[in-house]
Amino acid sequence: AEAAELRARLRAVRHTVLVLSGKGGVGKSTFSALLAHGLAADETKQVALLDIDICGPSIPKMMGLEGEQVHQSGSGWSPVYVEENLGVMSVGFLLSSPDDAVIWRGPKKNGLIKQFLRDVDWGEVDYLIVDTPPGTSDEHLSIVQYLSATHIDGAVIVTTPQEVSLQDVRKEINFCRKVKLPIIGVVENMSGFVCPKCKNESQIFPPTTGGAEKMCQNLNVSLLGKVPLDPQIGKSCDRGQSFLAEAPESPATLSYRNIIQRIQEYCEQQHFQEEKIM
Amino acid sequence: TLAERTNLAGVRHILLVLSGKGGVGKSTISTELALALRSAGKRVGILDVDLCGPSIPRMLRVQDSAVHQCDSGWVPVFVGQDKAIALMSIGFLLERPDDAVVWRGPKKNALIKQFVTDVAWGDLDFLIVDTPPGTSDEHISTVEALRHYQLLGAILVTTPQ
């Protein structure tokens, strides 16, 4: 009966993309927010961004929605809208104060994630993007389990170039394979820094073991793209603005846009081919 | 049990390294702190309770090590230049380094309890506990398991943004 409830609620969702990592602080939430903005630039598309990082929800701040609350209606919880075609849900909206710690064990976190899927009135959605916390635990198992009521197009896995990150990301790739979640591809963030003054490029996080490129080759997954470090990214996130809109000329914006396009193409293709990645 | 009371009995101070946020440098700081304290002549141990993303073994170049049992429990892996820093991490229990530990809370809690009570730490001046990001199972279980011992306090790591 529960599965039927979830199925009914998610019936009007055309594409679902999970943003995962394994490693913390590599740019999952940043990427999720920009993916949502990028897809919503097409006003004919309805985009939903679901933040299931219960302990450290970054999406409200990044989307400029801090302080917003969730409203209930007859048809369920209403997402908080950034644009008419871009709705957001996060535990951040349920806290009385932004510094309140959510100190919950797994089962309680799972319960809220289920509520997010069952009780939020997303309406008709072209793209549901799910931002996740780092790791391979309750939140990840639960989201895959609950979303089996609908079709998950795949996962985008975010990393940074250094081995300490790749180490955790390989585990995440194995997690995806274990739960039969298709992998759309890997995004390498913080991939080099170009000085705005002298234009010299530095590797702030040197890819001592070949970076995401080598890892993708070894594990036979797609490298969707590399995004360089741009201090404007962090600033835009802190201010709740879309980096793509604030810095349209940045090499990072170009990278993000290319990656977003590849993800869109992958999702659209799914309709014509019933191919499984694994 | 007697073992529970003796395995941490020789540890003078326990320090938790926390953040909330991932990727800010908790494991890096834990490692550097351990090495610096060792340099200053202290007896040091590191307990890595990040079960999904254990970074400490690689940082100390012991990612291929395995742990052994003795009468009082698990023997930690000894690391550092003089092999005098005691380290325990789930990294040592994985069959393959890329194996994902896909466990729900209760299983994670059970292992953390074991790490706290069943590792033969011996006499240490400092036990540094590296944690994963968040405020969930690992954190609750670690603090609960350490409640009766000499918890010095927590160091919180962040980045500027």
Q: What tens digit of pLDDT does each residue of B104-147 get?
A: 999 999 999 999 899 999 999 999 999 999 999 999 999 999 98
pLDDT (tens digit, 9 = 90+) per residue, A159-174? 999 999 999 999 999 9
> The domain that contains A193 carries what CATH number?
3.40.50.300
Chain B residue with CA closest to A179: the answer is: B102
Structure token digits, residue A57: 């929800």
Range of the domain at A231: 1-277
Please check the confidence at residue B148 and state whether its pLDDT lies above 90. Answer: no
- pTM of full prediction above 0.90: yes
A·B CB contacts under 8 A: 120
Query: In degrees rounded to 5, what are phi and psi of residue A110?
Result: -60, -40
Please check the confidence at residue A189 and state whether its pLDDT lies above 70. Answer: yes
Partners of A178 on chain B (C-beta within 8 Å) are 100, 102
Query: What's the CATH number for B11-157?
Result: 3.40.50.300
What is the C-alpha to C-alpha distance for residues A15 and A78, in angstroms, rounded to an integer? 20
How many separate domains does chain A show?
1
Please check the confidence at residue B96 and state whether its pLDDT lies above 70. Answer: yes
Q: Does A236 touch chain B (CB under 8 A)?
A: no
CB B18 within 8 A of CB B156: yes
pLDDT (tens digit, 9 = 90+) per residue, A24-81? 999 999 999 999 999 999 999 999 999 999 999 999 999 999 999 999 989 999 999 9
Average pLDDT, integer, range B21-26: 94
Please check the confidence at residue A231 and state whether its pLDDT lies above 90. Answer: yes
Structure token digits, residue B35: 């090495």
Structure token digits, residue B127: 């036990």
Partners of A140 on chain B (C-beta within 8 Å) are 102
